[in-house]
Amino acid sequence: LSARSLNLSVRRDSRSCIILMCFCATIMRSRHLEKEQKIGKGSLSCLRQEANCCCIRGVFLFHICKPSDPHFRSLSLPIPLVGPMRVEFSEPVNLDMVRKGNPQLGMGGRYKPNDCVALQKVAIIIPFRNRGEHLKYWLHYLHPIIQRQQLDYGIYVIQQDGEGTFNRAKLLNVGYVEALKEYDYDCFVFSDVDIIPMDDRNTYKCSSQPRHLSVSMDKFRFRLPYKQYFGGVSAMSKEQFQKINGFPNNYWGWGGEDDDIFNRLVFQGMKISRPSGDMGKCRMIRHSRDKKNEPNPQRFRRISHTQQTMKTDGIKSLSYKVVDIEKDLLYTQITVDIGKP
């Protein structure tokens, strides 16, 4: 398709440039899709859905948000991303510098794009206890990444009170409930505090199927450890999360809850979607296992009974007590008492 055949007279102003850019990107993507036989010749019926999570020639993420100008709400703007990034943990992070570097943030780690309306409202939930240095690195890297992805998002650090046995899954359930008390989120990203993506095209948002984002970590030599693996960083829409009754509450100690979630999704007829191995690369901050987070000896038995327990063990049976809520510019920290095994 040549510029002559378009026979367009483009005015030299910003809006005309935006229109032409979007149109050309759309044509380029449609031709690529036809080659892949994802759409038939002359049919663009699934173009919008496909473009929602694709990259244009590797450097533009397409259709993440809509222009805020009401005359252009039907258009989708290409968003410049960095692509592969260098992630290092050798230098300490100063949170005051992170705050200064993110002037668009609202209290509680809230952000909305100024020049467009984001298509998804995302709550990012981090289970937490005694990982202050890891949290600094996470905030340092992730805030700029997610802002470049043009998401309407908030950061929720859910801290387990006391020194009892850690329960990651129950903290994630608490984060889901507490985040919805503040805002009408429709997408939830559940992230360990020690995992940093190495490519900002790995978008922290939801799709038509549950999304596993930490596909290839350096800990596993940048390979998926096993097909059913759903740990590290994952994303589910509000509907997907409710359909499986959320995370199980009875996995105390390390391990098992991510495999339980995989089973729940399968039993409800869903499939895991993932970015490519290259795009899904992540680095993990090396550390020793936390105290009171020893391997759960009951995890394999519990996993084998997921189908019987998922309807009664989850969001519907969640109980906890909020101890404290702290609002920082970079995040909302909610300290909770989740009981004992």
User: Which residues participate in catalysis according to the annotation?
Assistant: 192, 194, 254, 257-258, 284, 287, 289
Q: Confirm if 253 and 321 have CB atoms less than 8 A apart.
A: no
242 close to 301: Cβ distance less than 8 angstroms? no
Burial class for 210, CB neighbours closer than 10 Å (0-12, 13-18, 19+): buried
User: 60 near 78, Cβ under 8 Å?
Assistant: yes
Report which DSSP code applies to 110. Answer: B
Are 292 and 231 spatial neighbours (Cβ–Cβ below 8 Å)? no
Q: Would you mind telling me the total number of residues written for the chain in this entry?
A: 341
Question: What is the token pair recorded at 188?
Answer: 């939830």
Give the span between the Cα atoms of 63 and 48, in whole angstroms: 8
Distance (Å, rounded) from C-alpha 21 to C-alpha 10?
11
Task: Say if CB 284 and CB 217 are below 8 A apart.
Answer: yes
The answer to whether the beta carbons of residues 65 and 78 sit under 8 Å apart is no
Rounded to whole angstroms, the Cα distance separating 216 from 321 reads 36
DSSP 150: T
